Chain A
Amino acid sequence: MAPHMDLPPTKIVRLLQLGDGEGALRASSIWQCVSCQTCSTRCPKSVDCAAVMDALRQIAFERGMASAAERRTVVFQKAFLDNIRRNGRLNEIELIAAFKGEVFFRDRSLPFLFQDAGLAAQLQKRRKLHLRGEKVRDRGVVARIFERAGGGSR
């Protein structure tokens, strides 16, 4: 992933060493990161770069300063957590609807809205589409876990 990043993990770590937390928090790369854990695995200085990326995303999200260029990724992760908070397990159709709806509300991109529309029929044909997602029985405890962890409220 690093070739596409405005600031690859090495530069993110260097910014932090220099005390420029703001610069790191505003980087697009922290949202382009796919959490493949390669940087943490290979760092010759044993820096857990992937955990640093996680921490930066968490702080940027809390402070509402996530990169505008990578807004879709933030919206997706947030919609994912909202979905889990309600159902306890992921409901894919609900997630896609919430994510696509939110992105369309922000950028009015019709091509993006319908980008994966053809896949629904393909998945249906393969009995991979669940119109009614699963819900856990004890959804109360899931809601309380989210509340105590302060999760997905922004």
Chain B
Amino acid sequence: MNFGYYPGCALHGSSNDYEQSLRACLDALGITLTEIDDWICCGATAAHSLNHKLAVALPARNLALAHAQGCAEMLAPCPMCSMQLLRAQRVLEADPPLRDEIAAVVEAQVNGGPRVLNIIQIFERVGLDALKAAVKQPLKDFKPACYYGCLLVRPPAVVDFDDAEQPQSMEAVVAALGAKPVAWGYKTECCGAGMTLAKAETVLELSGRILANAASSGANCLVVACPMCHVNLDMKQAAIEEFVGRKFGLPVYYLTDVVGMALGLGAGELGADRHFVVAGKEA
């Protein structure tokens, strides 16, 4: 299997552990990735907050590049990027005059572009039975709280993936690995997203509630699929513990970490040894 690949800035920046994990894990499954040549930033929250045209144009440029490079299906592992790409596709599809205008802005034909996939959809494409059969090291001591955050499932009219209030797709993947995902209430609550620098207390409060609910629900780790969620829950966990006055010590794994570990890869190969909260007794 081969997919086009739009890493986005985070995976080439301080979330490079996610990219390492993703590449190691997908390689072990025989999946190859073709990175979109000369991709640009999707604009993220800054673009959709300050400039509507940019918020459509930046993703549109990437979709046009991918299309021109013969990409039919493209993995965008960062939910911010994938939501922005999908939103641009939907906005442009519904508005032909805007499509012409944006084509002139981005100096490329804008005609839909590839099908944009998140990382869970890649594992669904592999097939849960095939994944189960490939497991070398069942994750029997893992009791993860599968955390979706916002943009994997919201807004449903844009991303059209799983259930916006009670998603189960990540639980299905980790269950295939032998893990026992816990039932919990905060799987789609926001972690504070890109407020990490500008307004840290927002992150401390929102992410604190997520960690508290995961711990109270019997989880011994979290599994995420978003680089920003990982930053807030892992890198900021010590600050959160200080803020809420409660010790969590909950390792936060990318979904590709846990799949990779079940396939027999080590934490060092996956980059999971570079997280802030070190693995507990579940690993």
Contact = CB atoms under 8 A, between A and B. Distances in A.
Contacts of A123: 14, 235
B266 interface: no
Contacts of A58: 49-52
Interface string A131-153: 00110111001101110111110
Kindly name the residue among B50, B164, B192 whose own CB sees the greatest number of chain A CB atoms within 10 A: B50
Interface in B91-146: 104-107
Contacts of B206: 1, 34
A54 B48 contact: yes
Contacts of A84: 40-41, 43, 46-47, 58
Contacts of A48: 155
Contacts of B10: 90
A145 B193 contact: no
Contacts of B51: 58, 61, 81, 149-152
B54 A149 contact: yes
B187 interface: no
Contacts, number: 163
A35 B49 contact: yes
Given A37-B150, A81-B47, A116-B197, A90 B41 contact: yes
A112 to B, nearest CB: 9
A134 B41 CA distance: 11
A26 interface: no
Contacts of B41: 84, 88-90
B67 interface: no
Interface in B189-223: 190, 192-195, 197-200, 202, 206
Nearest to A92: B13
B16 interface: yes
Nearest to A81: B46
A119 interface: yes
B154 A40 contact: yes
Contacts of B156: 41
A1 B16 contact: no
A147 to B, nearest CB: 9
Place the interface of chain B in its size category.
Answer: 35 or more
Contacts of B235: 119, 122-123
A128 B16 contact: yes
Chain A contact surface mostly: helix
B44 to A, nearest CB: 7
B24 interface: no
B45 A90 contact: no
A120 to B, nearest CB: 10
Interface string B239-258: 00000000000000000000
A129 interface: yes
A130 interface: yes
Interface of B: 9-10, 12-17, 38-41, 43-55, 57-58, 61, 104-107, 150-151, 154-156, 164-165, 190, 192-195, 197-200, 202, 206, 235, 274-276
The 10 closest A-B CB pairs, nearest first, are A36-B190, A90-B9, A80-B46, A37-B154, A76-B198, A149-B53, A77-B46, A126-B274, A128-B14, A36-B150
23 contacts: A1-B190, A32-B199, A32-B202, A34-B206, A48-B155, A72-B199, A80-B45, A81-B47, A81-B51, A84-B41, A89-B12, A89-B41, A90-B13, A115-B200, A126-B17, A130-B13, A136-B38, A138-B38, A141-B107, A148-B53, A148-B104, A148-B105, A150-B51
